[in-house]
Amino acid sequence: MVTLLNANAARPHYVGADVGGTKVRTLVTDDSGEVVWSSTEPTEHDVAGQIARQVRALGPGRVRALGVGVPGVVAPDTGVVSRAPNVPGLDGLPLAERLTAVLGVPVAVENDIAAAALAEQRLRGSAGSTLAVVAAGTGIGLGVVHDGRPIRGETGAAGEIADLPIGSGRLLEDAVSVAGLLRSYRFLGGDEGRSVRDLLAAADEGEPLAALALTEYTADLAQGVAMVAAVLDPAWFVLTGGIGAHPRVLAEVREHLGPPLSARVIPSALGPDSPAHGAVLLAFRAAGVPLP
């Protein structure tokens, strides 16, 4: 059994798990929303079993509800997860149903970026408005909430913006991805062996090829933001992800967009933990209790 920090065993606890291709980030809060335990583990092949093991380790009767963010589409009617190629065994799995049966507690499952958007909106106290999280890293994804509720679409695939056409026969993720950024850099004559982290550092230092490749990337990212703005008109765009969270990327996207839209593009207030915090909020909702 794990030891919960500053926790009263008599109080209910809520678990939020953010499932990624390489790791599972888990937060446990008490009923006030205070984080009393956290963990980061490599993602296992049986991710449902992994999450169930973490919940059981907290002790019998201590967990009131569980929320999970996943990198894929969650069908609104069946809860079946799809389009999650980076997590073995997740595609085709009714994850909430499986975990509820195993653990005997309410479980809610949501797209991880939508979960992040829930947390970002809750922190800003902007319920009643529309907020979008744009996650730019290995690929590109979008999560949108309005008045504290995710916008899922008919099949749960709202926010799958990777396939948006951006001209010249390209899709958004062809350009706005790790592979797209590195391909652009190498096409310009850059070092074949350079990583994205090194490229970003080189751009910050003023290396011309790295700076040009990044400018092309941020121009395409800004185009994606502008397209979402034209359709949904969010009050805020929160940039996250391994590339999107970089200060230079934020600054360049704002520059490409120009006012007034540029003022609505902001950094994450919660950083990489925003999906896990959003998953905790899902747990509170699954239990039918007011959010902290």
pTM above 0.75, yes or no: yes
Q: Mean pLDDT of residues grouped by 10 in the chain (292 residues)?
A: 56 93 94 93 95 93 95 94 89 96 97 96 81 95 93 92 91 95 96 94 97 98 97 96 96 98 96 96 95 82
* Whole-number pLDDT of residue 253: 98
Query: Residue 233: what pLDDT?
Result: 95
One-letter identity of residue 59: G
- Report the distance separating Cα 114 and Cα 120, nearest Å: 10
At residue 113, the 3 state secondary structure works out as helix
pLDDT, position 10: 64
44 within 8 A of 50, measured Cβ to Cβ: yes
Q: What does the angle CA 229 – CA 112 – CA 51 come to, to the nearest 5 degrees?
A: 175
142 and 159 Cβ atoms separated by less than 8 Å: yes
70: left (phi over 0), alpha (psi -120 to 50) or beta: beta
Rounded CA separation 118/104 (Å):
25
pLDDT tens for residues 117-136? 999 999 887 666 899 999 99
In DSSP notation, 237-277 reads EEEESTTTTSHHHHHHHHHHH-TTGGGGEEE-SSGGGHHHH
